[in-house]
Structure 1
Amino acid sequence: MSEVVVSLFHVRDERTVQSRIEEAVEDYSRTYKTEDSQVKLLYESGGKPYLESRAVELSISHSGELWGCALSKESVGLDIQLIREKGVCSVAKRFFHPEEYRYLQETGFSDFFSLWTAKESYVKFTGEGITDGFSAFSVVDSQGLLSSVNGAELKLIPFLPEYRICVCAERIGSLIIRDKREKR
């Protein structure tokens, strides 16, 4: 089971991405008693970020006024989306699995951002990215949003009503949200 810590920052925070990641890693290390003195951010060929030491896995996302970093000892995916009404139908038709598109048509597209964050957190978890078969898998069935896809667990995080946030990991044990939006 993965222990996942999600740190959420305000995008207008003057700190750099590096300093936000350093703070998030320090918090994670204190919570789970891990050692990660090397907080050097690198990128795989597909664009997935990772820490040079590989002691902790991470995923980064931002949308609107939120920037977030998910950390875990196992592979993790995080997506944040500010809810916007424009263009969701055409985006769903272009990028979603046919089953997901049908589901959204039936529900009036109200769950679009829940599906999008679930899908994007999953492809970040796998390292595939949205260009490699985003429509090849579905995160819904006839009952609604699935709690897992291809063996990976999905967890929507209720945080702010105007955002959807989802974390994906193989098995999520504990999930801690750290609200870092206040300036120091």
Structure 2
Amino acid sequence: MNTLNFYDVFVYICKGTDPSLRNRRLQKCARHYAGLYGDEINCYTEKYGNYGKPYFSENRGVHYSISHSGDYWMCAFHKEPIGFDIQEHKAIDFINIAKHWYHPQEYETVLEKGANQFYDIWCAKESYLKYIGMGLRQPMKDFSVIEENKLKNRILDTELVNISRKPGYSLCICAEKIINIYFLVYF
């Protein structure tokens, strides 16, 4: 691994989505992430913002976003606020979902490009909503992550990084600035 940068993102990948393992996984990943920057702490206290966004009360420059889908639980860490989403591609009625939830521009793109684009858009939107701490409380139709029939790489003052890492899944990270993304497998 190169010298760490303040704007590096670390994504921890865990097989399985058992909810009873969430807190233990989060603590283990947080300790590892903090240790990369020379910070040693045994336990973080998790709290929730006004709209349910989790954060550590101690903060110490450790921001995170959790997502799980299909076979994976993942957690992305950054020194500043972050949003992250993963979605397994499933056989669903994505056209009607896009018609109901997506901005008209996004809906047209899904009609043209199909299911993979549907999931890429969903991940981009959800990662942005997690980044701003609103979750699905802000209507998804109110903003678009599409420009000229392609996914944007910025929305307002934030970067959107769509990742094609594993076939059958879409991933997206949203943060003010992203230099490198490191994936670490944790079991």
TM-score relative to the length of structure 2: 0.89
Q: CA RMSD in A?
A: 1.8
- Name which of 33, 36, 49 aligns with 1:31: 36
Query: C-alpha separation between the residues in 2 aligned to 1:143 and 1:179?
Result: 34
**Aligned letter for 2:30?**
V
| Residue 164 of structure 1, CA deviation | 0.8
Query: C-alpha separation between the residues in 1 aligned to 2:179 and 2:70?
Result: 28
Answering whether residue 50 of structure 2 is matched by residue 45 of structure 1, we say yes
Q: Would you say the 8 A contact 2:89–2:116 is kept in 1?
A: no
Q: Which residue of 2 aligns with 1:87?
A: 93
Q: Which residue of 2 aligns with 1:57?
A: 63
Answering whether residue 26 of structure 2 is matched by residue 16 of structure 1, we say no
What are the superposed Cα offsets for residues 30-60 of structure 1, whole Å, 9 maximum, x if unpaired? Answer: 2222344441222222111111211211111
Answering whether residue 99 of structure 2 is matched by residue 98 of structure 1, we say no
Query: C-alpha separation between the residues in 1 aligned to 2:181 and 2:144?
Result: 24
**Aligned letter for 1:102?**
E
Query: Number of paired residues?
Result: 181
Change (3 A) 1:14 1:132: closer
What are the superposed Cα offsets for residues 52-97 of structure 1, whole Å, 9 maximum, x if unpaired? Answer: 2112111111111110111111000010101012121111111111
Q: Would you say the 8 A contact 2:51–2:134 is kept in 1?
A: yes
Query: C-alpha separation between the residues in 2 aligned to 1:69 and 1:40?
Result: 16
Answering whether residue 163 of structure 2 is matched by residue 122 of structure 1, we say no
Give 3-state SS (helix, strand or coil) of 1:2's partner. coil
Change (3 A) 1:14 1:58: closer
Unaligned runs of 5+ in 1: none
Change (3 A) 1:105 1:42: same
**Aligned letter for 2:78?**
S
Query: C-alpha separation between the residues in 2 aligned to 1:158 and 1:107?
Result: 16
Q: Would you say the 8 A contact 2:31–2:40 is kept in 1?
A: no
Percent identity over the alignment is 33
Question: Which of 115-124 and 104-113 deviates more?
Answer: 104-113
TM-score relative to the length of structure 1: 0.90
Unaligned runs of 5+ in 2: 1-5
**Aligned letter for 1:123?**
L
Q: Which residue of 1 aligns with 2:164?
A: 158
Query: C-alpha separation between the residues in 2 aligned to 1:169 and 1:30?
Result: 21
Change (3 A) 1:13 1:127: closer
Whichever structure has more helix as a proportion of its residues is 2
Query: C-alpha separation between the residues in 2 aligned to 1:30 and 1:80?
Result: 25
Query: C-alpha separation between the residues in 1 aligned to 2:183 and 2:164?
Result: 10
Query: C-alpha separation between the residues in 1 aligned to 2:41 and 2:180?
Result: 20
